């Protein structure tokens, strides 16, 4: 079992839809959770990061962490064609080497 | 804003050549990383560095070496490029826990 599981997709939605992207993990030591957006042929761009459980909102994006279920989500409201990209989750345990463990990414396509 | 820059966006090299990939960050971060990214395989860690002149092997260090002579600069070296090193190479630096990536170098070895 991989430490971080993420459905590769592609996930195809119409413009304006609410998108839910998810990751599950097995390491209960993970405390720090990140979401990245990666456009084709570009480097990953940090979207949001959260510490421990709870929600964090930034504009159309909401990150949610459920540590009891070892499950994290990224919600995108009012999705736009410009949101079409691969979304990677990443997580780290506090202390230690600060090397995050990445999911393999979910490809999102928002069609007009 | 954190800025991580990489010396080239696209690079084409011949088999057996020595290749240098340069990365510079402007946020005084201590930790820097080199990854390669291939379709279906995700991000794989090659090397990382905690401090100047310090380096640690990642998951796939074979065929690579690194150099960190200054805090802001971390170089990846392919000692003798091979076709199986054709890939997207990504440099990152770390704030508290979050990583900031550069734009990537698409390396093709022919």
Q: What is the DSSP string of A27-91?
A: -TTEEEEEEEEE-TTS--EEEEEEESSEEEEETTEEEEEETTTTEEEEEESS--GGG-EEEEEEE
pLDDT at A96: 63
Q: To the nearest whole angstrom, how far is the Cα of B18 from the nearest Cα of chain A?
A: 24
How high is the mean pLDDT of chain A? Answer: 93
Name residue A101's beta-bridge partners: A91
Q: What is the chain B residue with the closest CA to A51?
A: B97
pLDDT at A93: 87
Q: Provide CB contacts within 8 A for B34, sequence distance 6+.
A: B21, B23, B45, B46, B47, B48, B58, B64, B66, B74, B76, B89, B90, B91, B92
- The order of strands in the sheet holding B19-25 is B4-6, B19-25, B73-78, B64-70
- A46 chain-B contacts, CB cut-off 8 A: 98-101
Q: Kindly indicate the confidence band of residue A99, based on its pLDDT and cuts at 50, 70 and 90.
A: confident
pLDDT at B40: 86
Q: Which of A19-28, A48-57, B70-79 is predicted least confidently? A: A48-57
HSE-CB for B108 with a 13 A CA cutoff: 5
As a whole-number percent, the residues of chain A with pLDDT over 70 amount to 96
Identify which of A7, A38, A29, A36 has the alpha carbon closest to the alpha carbon of residue A92.
A29
Q: What is the chain B residue with the closest CA to A98?
A: B97
Q: Over 80: is that where the pLDDT of A94 sits? A: no
Q: Over 80: is that where the pLDDT of B29 sits? A: yes
Q: Kindly indicate the confidence band of residue A111, based on its pLDDT and cuts at 50, 70 and 90.
A: very high
Residue B97 to residue A34, Cβ atoms within 8 A = yes
């Amino acid at each position: 079992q991989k430490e971080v599981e993420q459905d590769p997709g592609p996930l195809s939605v119409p413009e304006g839809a609410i998108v839910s992207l998810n990751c599950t993990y097995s390491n209960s030591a993970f405390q720090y959770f990140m979401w990245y957006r990666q456009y084709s042929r570009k480097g990953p761009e940090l979207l949001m990061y959260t510490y421990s459980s709870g929600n964090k909102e930034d504009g159309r994006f909401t990150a949610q962490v459920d540590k009891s279920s070892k499950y994290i989500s990224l919600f995108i409201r009012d999705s736009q064609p410009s949101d079409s990209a691969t979304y990677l989750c990443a997580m780290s345990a506090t202390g230690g080497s600060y090397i995050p463990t990445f999911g393999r990414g979910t490809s999102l396509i928002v069609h007009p | 804003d954190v800025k991580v820059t990489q010396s080239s966006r696209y690079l084409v090299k011949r088999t057996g050549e020595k290749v240098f990939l340069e990365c510079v960050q402007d946020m005084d971060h201590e930790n820097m990383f080199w990854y390669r990214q291939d379709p279906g395989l995700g991000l794989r860690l090659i090397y990382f560095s905690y401090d100047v002149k310090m380096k640690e092997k990642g998951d796939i260090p074979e065929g690579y070496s690194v150099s960190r002579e200054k805090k802001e600069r971390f170089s990846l070296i392919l000692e003798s490029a091979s076709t199986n090193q054709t890939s997207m190479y990504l440099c990152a630096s770390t704030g508290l826990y979050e990583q900031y990536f550069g734009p990537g170098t698409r390396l093709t070895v022919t």
